[in-house]
């Protein structure tokens, strides 16, 4: 990692906890559940990243493979072919840090070579055996997300998260990833029933003893639609409500499609919470 990247990485990590941070979603995929195909062209993707920066996001999360339920896996070459042109154009002069949303070690390593500073792994270092070593070698920060290959309504989902995170953190420690570069994500919408998604947000405080920042990505997830009369999960309203509930429970970073609404809503939340603490 270059010195300028380290500075961006550390500046971002140092901001965590000072106020709620917004991670803007940039999917360069044809089949993502909410915005598939919208930013497949690299110029459109770069323009979207710049627009999110202007709207108040703190980090842009670039993804080249859809992880929606039922999505077909793509090859390493195809994923690299989607993200490389965007990073090549965006990273050199972009003021914000960039994260790469991937579970493939080779994609993570290449993204950091091109300017990313954080790896957002939906399988928490447990899908690709080389991922922890790749992140450590690249000096990147990492989001360790909880995931399951299938739903199990009988599970205590927070207990399952803790078992998963314990394994992931052991892998991170073995590879030499510093504790200060790790962020936890409960994985809203991944391998969970609607009830478990609600429970994961409601019980976030039970993860505080890890002493690590928590990222929540509830944006436009289908369980939100089931809670609203018109089932409009794409509406910012449900996501913002979930994000504010997560913020009250201790979440520090919010991965969202609707950046402007979240930057404004979380700013108000933080002002009220800060006033109450005085």
pLDDT tens readout for residues 164-198:
999 999 999 999 999 999 999 999 999 999 999 99
d(CA 224, CA 252): 20
- The pLDDT score that the predictor gives to residue 231 is 55
Q: Which of 127, 180, 221, 273 is an active site residue?
A: 221
How far apart CA 256 and CA 207 sit, in angstroms, is 21
Model confidence pLDDT, tens digit, residues 115-125: 999 999 999 99
5-53 pLDDT, tens digit each = 999 999 999 999 999 999 999 999 885 445 445 555 789 999 999 999 9
At 36 the pLDDT is: 47
Per-residue pLDDT reduced to its tens digit, 74-114: 899 999 999 999 999 999 999 999 999 999 999 999 999 99
> How much is the pLDDT for 32?
46
Is residue 255 annotated as a catalytic residue, yes or no?
yes
Cα 82 to Cα 88: distance, rounded to the nearest angstrom: 11
Return all residues near 69 (Cβ < 8 A) that are at least 6 apart. none
> CB neighbours of 82 closer than 8 A, spacing ≥ 6?
28, 29, 40, 64, 65
Q: Which of 200, 251, 1, 270 is nearest to 119 (CA)?
A: 1
130-147 mean pLDDT: 98
On whether the CB atoms of residues 140 and 110 are closer than 8 A, the answer is: no
Residue 150 carries which DSSP code?
S
Annotation says 221 is catalytic: yes
What are the backbone dihedrals phi and psi of residue 217, each rounded to the nearest 5 degrees, phi first?
-125, 80
- Spatial CB neighbours of 78, under 8 Å, sequence gap ≥ 6: 64
**What is the pTM for the complete model shown?**
0.93
Looking at 82, 104, 110, 255, which residue is catalytic? 255
- Please, which residues bridge with residue 215 across strands? 253
- CA-closest candidate to residue 207, choices 250, 252, 154: 250
Mean pLDDT of 56-77: 88
Give the whole-number percent of the chain exceeding pLDDT 70: 92
Q: pLDDT class for 270, splitting at 50, 70, 90?
A: very high
Closest by Cα among 134, 214, 138 to 182: 214
Domains in the chain, CATH or no CATH each: 3-277 (3.20.20.20)
pLDDT of residue 223: 81
Confidence check: pLDDT of 73 > 70? yes
Among 272, 178, 213, 244, residue whose Cα is nearest residue 59 = 213
Alpha-carbon distance 42 to 60, whole Å? 14
DSSP state of 251: -
Model pLDDT for residues 204-258, shown as the tens digit of each residue:
999 999 999 999 999 988 788 777 766 555 578 889 999 999 999 999 999 999 9
Q: What is the distance between the alpha carbons of residues 133 and 105, in angstroms, rounded to a whole number?
A: 8
């Amino acid at each position: 990692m270059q010195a300028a990247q380290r500075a961006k990485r550390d500046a971002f990590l140092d901001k965590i906890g000072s106020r709620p941070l917004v991670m803007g979603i940039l999917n360069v995929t044809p089949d993502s559940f909410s915005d598939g195909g919208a930013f497949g062209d690299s110029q459109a993707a770069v323009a979207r990243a710049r627009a999110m920066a202007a709207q108040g996001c703190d980090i842009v999360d670039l993804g080249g493979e859809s992880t929606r339920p039922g999505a077909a896996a793509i090859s390493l070459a195809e994923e690299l072919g989607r993200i490389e042109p965007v990073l090549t154009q965006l990273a050199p002069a972009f003021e914000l840090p960039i994260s790469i949303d991937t579970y493939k070690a080779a994609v993570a390593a290449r993204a950091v070579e091109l300017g990313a500073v954080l790896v957002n792994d939906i399988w928490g270092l447990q899908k690709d055996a080389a991922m922890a070593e790749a992140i450590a070698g690249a000096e990147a920060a990492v989001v360790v997300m909880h995931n399951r290959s299938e739903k199990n309504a009988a599970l205590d989902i927070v207990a399952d998260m803790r078992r998963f995170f314990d394994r992931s953190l052991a892998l991170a420690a073995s590879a030499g990833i510093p504790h200060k570069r790790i962020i936890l994500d409960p994985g809203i919408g991944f391998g969970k029933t609607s009830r478990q998604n609600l429970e994961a947000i409601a019980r976030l405080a039970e993860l505080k003893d890890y002493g690590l920042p928590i990222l929540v990505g509830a944006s436009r997830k289908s369980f939100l639609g089931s809670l609203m009369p018109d089932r409009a999960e794409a509406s910012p309203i449900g996501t913002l409500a979930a994000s504010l509930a997560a913020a009250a429970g201790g979440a520090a970073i919010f991965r969202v499609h609707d950046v402007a609404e979240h930057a404004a809503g979380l700013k108000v939340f933080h002002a009220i919470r800060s006033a109450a603490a005085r």
